[in-house]
Amino acid sequence: MKVYQKIILAVELDPSCDTLTTKKAKALADEFGAELYLVHAIEHMSSYGAAYGVAAGADIEEMLLENASDSMKKLGSELNLADNHQVIKVGPARTIILEEADRIGADLIVVGSHGRHGIRLLLGSTANAVLHGAACDVLAVRLKED
């Protein structure tokens, strides 16, 4: 069995999505004595539309970065991770996750998979893109809908 030394956990910074993936990534990091990294991507503004109910012209990316930073610090503290093991960047999630995996030389990427419909029934679009683009192993954790 492969021994993992660096594990990236892609987080949405939403406890309803991250609890299961965080538990699995933490258990694997503990089992292998691996370094754990958290990565969160904030999609560019054009990807959000009116879904967030913020008036046009507001600096939504800055607000999202602030909120993400607060949530990341909390999660990083709970997992006892150094600041340099917590990454927040603006851009497509699949690109950010894969770039960070390459940058740190990750052995494993842990990502949640919603996979709700159509061709994405088994894997969500981000999980699918990461799976097919990664140079390392990928663990897609099925997130169940309530």
CATH number at residue 77: 3.40.50.620
The answer to whether residue 105 is domain-embedded is no
Q: Report DSSP state, residue 13.
A: S
pTM: 0.83
pLDDT at 15: 86
Q: Is residue 48 part of a domain?
A: yes
Q: Which domain holds residue 39?
A: 6-15+29-92+111-119+128-146
Average pLDDT, the chain: 85
Q: How far is it, in rounded angstroms, from Cα 16 to Cα 19? A: 6
Q: How many domains does the chain have?
A: 1
**Euclidean distance between CA atoms 11 and 141, whole angstroms:** 12
Task: Judge whether residue 51 has pLDDT over 60.
Answer: no
Whether residue 17 has pLDDT greater than 50: yes
List the single range of 20-29, 58-67, 116-125 with lowest mean pLDDT. Answer: 116-125
The model's pLDDT over 70-120, given as tens digits with 9 standing for 90+, comes to 999 999 999 999 999 999 999 999 999 999 999 999 999 999 887 554 444
Q: What is the mean pLDDT of residues 4-15?
A: 95
**CA pair distance 101, 94, nearest whole angstrom:** 11
Task: Please indicate, yes or no, if residue 99 is contained in any of the structural domains.
Answer: no
- Answer yes or no: is pLDDT of 141 > 80: yes
